[in-house]
Copies of this chain bind each other. A is one copy, B any other.
């Protein structure tokens, strides 16, 4: 089954929204996610329903099918492998890769992805800490907790970010938070939910709840 670039982008968005725990994915959510109008989404949902990558009932929700999940994960796999390539090999900064990967993920060539994967040494995570599905769509996910939900004195390692926007990533670069950093929660402010953490046993950092909620930690 063949998906167009637009269909792949929609399906990927639907998959991500589905994974976010929500009961069902709304037309408006999708429109917001891919910067399009709800009317266009309705159109596309009908088409995706016909292709059986989602199960769609007008006015009620939609559900991604097993087929849809598999295809979405293939696109996500490609996206993340390309991100690794851009950072590891071409020395892109982690905040520069998203738009390019958004294009590269649609290149059609199974051989290309197979070889790229090997060339990158079968990476398990992308530059933002997100897991790279294998060729069958299996994802090895680690138990992660948002930094703002940790308690004082708890420690761990930063393993991913929830927000991959350039603005957020550059902020993290600036303050010296990076994936792999060992951290410990020194203090939490009840009032606004902001936290103080110790990074690599050297440096202390204050961050707002908003920032902390976008940092994912593997507890130790």
Show the binding face of A for B, using Cβ within 8 Å: 86, 89-92, 96, 99-100, 103-104, 107-109, 111-112, 115-116, 119
Contact = CB atoms under 8 A, between A and B. Distances in A.
Nearest to A104: B107
A109 B97 CA distance: 10
B115 A109 contact: no
20 contacts: A86-B112, A89-B119, A90-B112, A90-B115, A90-B116, A90-B119, A91-B115, A92-B111, A92-B115, A96-B111, A99-B109, A100-B107, A100-B109, A100-B111, A100-B112, A103-B107, A103-B108, A103-B109, A104-B104, A104-B107
Tell me the dominant secondary structure on chain A's binding face: helix
Copy number in the complex reads 2
Contacts of A108: 103
Contacts of A104: 104, 107
A107 B102 CA distance: 10
A89 B111 CA distance: 13
A195 B9 CA distance: 54
Contacts of A86: 112
